[in-house]
Amino acid sequence: MPSVKMPRKSTDTDMTPFVDVAFLILSFFIMATKFKPPEPLKITTPKSVSSQKLEEKDAIMIQFDSSGKVYLSVNLPKKEDENLKKDFISRLNNDAKLGLSDNEMNKFVKNSMVGSPLNELKALFALPINEWDKVKQKGIPVDSANNELSRWMSAVSQTFQGHPVDIMIKGDNNAKYPEFKGVIDALRFNQIFKYKLITDPRGVPVGSELYKIREAGGKEDQS
Amino acid sequence: MASIDSGGGDSGHKKGPGVKKAKKLSTRVDMTPMVDLGFLLITFFIFTATMSTPTTMRLIMPKDEKNPENQTEVKESGALTILMGKSNGVYYYEGQLKPDGSNFMSTTYADIRNVIQKKRTDVMQLGRSLGYAKDSADKDMVVVIKPNAEATYKNTVDILDEMTINNIKRFALVDISEPEKQAITLTEQRNGVK
């Protein structure tokens, strides 16, 4: 009797297309990724419908984290603007009588993110820059009794008179309102009324006024 | 693609009877570890990727006006005051806060849009009856935003964002007053907000 032989089929599948797809996606993500610069502060920003992208411009950034510590940083990427930073810190030095040496002020030019009360600045600046991160900075006081940020901002408005800078505020979701108010008050005190809040994008709710305006192709009031 | 044809046996020239057939080794490579590695890297890049670039929201605050003559007057009919308390609580009242607090309402961040919308339609209707131009019928509408000390920054930004969403042109961030603070505390106690 002739036996019927069933052709035995292999159970392993050809993985090759799978690998192809996987590496295609992988290469996409590698190319699309822009690594975040390391941030000394962990801040989750709130969401807003604003469609204005964050521009890489000269900016004074005021940040506060969830515990309400306020930090100030000067973002001037251009090399030739370094004398402005120097100008800024020496102005503050004279104004608040910090007693910083020239060498210490040069450290600020290199790493201009500070979150210490004025009376602790000298001690912070005495350290080498790479040890700044290890120091637990207390944050710049912004309470109404002792709003030191307003002295910083006064130095800002004097230094950057002829050099346009954006004032950016980046706050954490869970920060309380008084910190934000302290920041606004410091700005208001120095006659600075226009600033930008850094937020994450979110979609415009369907059916809202803004939605209708954008549907109609109109430009919304950005003020 | 990756499997290379290893010269499929029968095809090609015939070998003589004395020629020993070389043992055929499969050239197929096991791809599974490669796939594993590939997807591991993909997940890593997905998690570290910053897909959404941050946006900025412009905020322009009014100048401090010490002189009462120059201060902006707000029509009571067009005023809506939004107050924010702890645990994402939102409260509002129209016009002025009544001494007995009967127009002090509590709402949520999801419903505040309807409140603003309703107020806006009311004000526009009133504006039209007063003979305002069609595109400025809501010019009397002013939203006063008053977060208390326990409201978060997120709450504040959410309400400011709501102004953009509802196309409110006049709004102000104002310090909360004592009776309003009390009204919030009382409502929070009554509703058991922790």
CATH of domain B75-191: 3.30.420
Query: Is B70 an 8 Å CB contact of chain A?
Result: no
pLDDT of B9 reads: 46
**pLDDT (tens digit per residue) in A182-200:** 888 888 887 778 888 888 8
CA distance linking residue A180 with residue A172, whole number of Å? 10
Put simply, the answer to whether A180 touches B31 (Cβ < 8 Å) is no
Q: How far apart are CA B91 and CA B80, in angstroms?
A: 11
In the predicted model, is pLDDT for residue A34 greater than 80? Answer: no
Give the per-residue pLDDT at B49: 67
Would you call B149 and A178 a contact, using CB atoms and an 8 Å cutoff?
yes
Q: What confidence tens digit (pLDDT) does each residue in A41-89 have? A: 777 788 888 777 777 777 888 888 888 788 888 877 777 777 777 777 7
Report yes or no: A108 and A114 within 8 Å, Cβ to Cβ: yes
What's the average model confidence in pLDDT over B59-65?
Answer: 73
User: What is the spatial distance between Cα A36 and Cα A43, in angstroms, rounded to a whole number?
Assistant: 13
The residues that bridge with B59 in the sheet, in sequence order, are A195
Distance in angstroms (rounded) separating the CA atoms of residues A99 and A214: 54
Yes or no, beta carbons of A18 and B2 under 8 Å apart: no
CB A177, CB B147: distance < 8 Å: yes
In angstroms, the CA B153 to CA A174 distance is 6
Q: How many H helices and E strands in chain B?
A: 4, 6
Using CA atoms, how far apart are residues A19 and B161, in angstroms rounded to an integer?
A: 45
Contacts of B169 in chain A (CB under 8 A): 221
Q: Tell me which DSSP letter residue A139 carries.
A: -
CA distance B181 to B186: 9
Angle at B42 between CA B49 and CA A23, to 5 degrees: 125
What average pLDDT does the segment B95-115 reach? 80
Q: How close does chain B come to A68, measured CA to CA in Å?
A: 10
What is each CA distance from B8 to A196, B1, B16, B17, B100, in whole angstroms? 69, 16, 18, 19, 95
What is the pTM for the complete model shown?
0.72
- For B152, name the nearest residue in chain A, comparing CA atoms only: A176
CA angle centred on A152, ends A148 and A158, rounded to 5°: 140
Percent of chain B with pLDDT over 70: 79
Residues facing residue A170 across a β-bridge: A63
Residue A11 lies in a domain: no
Domain range for residue A107? Answer: 57-201
> Could you tell me which of A102, A99, A98 has the C-alpha nearest to residue A87?
A102
Interface of A with B in 36-75 (CB under 8 A): 36, 45-55, 64
Read off the pLDDT of residues A102-116 as tens digits, 9 standing for 90 and up.
Answer: 777 777 777 767 777
Which of B99, B94, B96, B89 has the alpha carbon at shortest distance from B189? B89
CA R_g for chain B: 34
Taking contacts as CB-CB distances below 8 angstroms, the residues of chain B near A213 are 167
Task: Show residues of chain B in contact with A178, CB under 8 Å.
Answer: 149
Specify if A216 maps to a domain.
no
A97: in domain: yes
Question: Into how many domains does chain A fold?
Answer: 1
In whole angstroms, give the CA distance from residue A120 to residue A139.
10
Answer for the pair B176, B148: CB distance below 8 angstroms, yes or no.
Answer: yes
* H or E element in which residue B179 lies: helix B178-191
Whether A36 is covered by a domain: the verdict is: no
Mind listing the pLDDT tens digit for each residue in A119-156?
777 777 777 777 777 777 777 877 877 777 777 888 77
